[in-house]
Amino acid sequence: MAQSRRQFTREFKLDAIKQVQSGKSLARVAREKEVHENVLRRWKREFERNPSRAFPGLGNTSEGREAELERKVGQMTMEIDFLKKVLRRMEEEQLLESVSGGRRSGGKSRKR
């Protein structure tokens, strides 16, 4: 399964940059925010070039996360339904085997 890219809100990025500008090391802020140092450097550079126009995107909104979770629930529901059908089929086969005395009629006879 492919991982989707993480998205960060403007506030998240600005907070990270503010921490670096206040004297915290770039490496420490990157660790605390769980982002790569190069990403943090890029955000800092983008902000320094034009603070008012930096990070115009909406970032990861709660609706996006909610939709992602709903997709995951749907996927899990489908997997559960599939596994229930497989389990039911296996139980039916076991019941047939026990009724027929352990012999299954598969159409082909074994040679002795």
What pLDDT, on the 0 to 100 scale, is given for residue 112? 55
Tokens of 8: 């960060």
Residues in CB range of 6: below 8 A, 6 or more apart: 60
Q: In the numeric block, which tokens belong to residue 13?
A: 């990025």
Name the phi and psi angles at 33, rounded to 5: -85, -5
For the chain, list residues with pLDDT below 50: none
Q: Which pLDDT belongs to residue 95?
A: 93
- pLDDT over 90 for what percent of the chain? 58
pLDDT of residue 58: 58
Output the CA angle 81-86-92, nearest 5 degrees.
Answer: 125
Count other Cβ atoms within 10 Å, centred on residue 16. 23
Asked whether the beta carbons of 34 and 1 are under 8 A apart, the reply is: no
pLDDT of 65 reads 75
- Alpha-helical runs (H) found in 24-108: 26-33, 37-49, 62-99
Structural domain boundaries in the chain: 8-60, 72-100
H or E element: which one contains 8? Answer: none
Give the pLDDT confidence of 20-41 residue by residue, as tens digits: 999 999 999 999 999 999 999 9
**In the prediction, which pLDDT does 101 show?**
79
Domain covering 8-60 in this structure, CATH number? 1.10.10.10
